[in-house]
Structures are given as structure tokens and as C-alpha cells.
Amino acid sequence: MPSLIRFLFMIGVLAGLVYAGMWALVFFVEPTPREMTVRIPADRINPDR
């Protein structure tokens, strides 16, 4: 039984670390917005021509 409790405790600690890492990414990392352009070839717009 102690090994099961130790295993569950370690899984809980790892899950808490993952959650804390995601929380830190959400609050401390600011994405930089930028414009995006995609060129579409004319034959894809008008395939009959």
C-alpha cells in the first residue's frame, strides 16, 4: 500500500507541475501579433481559364 500512495503522490506532483507550467505560459508569455499574407495562384481561383 505505501508504494501505491507514493506512486499516486508522484503522479499528483507531476500533474501539478504541468498545470503550473501551463499557467505560467498563459500569464507570462505575450504573443507578438503580425500580419499574414497567403498568395493563392490564379489557377486555383479560376480553374476554367
More confident position, 12 or 45: 12
Q: Alpha-carbon distance 13 to 28, whole Å?
A: 22
Residues 6+ apart with CB under 8 A from 43: 49
pLDDT digits (tens, 9 = 90+) for 17-49: 999 999 999 999 998 999 999 888 877 777 665
Sign of CA dihedral 9, 15, 21, 27: negative
The whole-angstrom separation of Cα 43 and Cα 30 is 39
Distance between CA atoms of 17 and 4, rounded to whole angstroms? 20
pTM: 0.58
The pLDDT value given to residue 25: 94
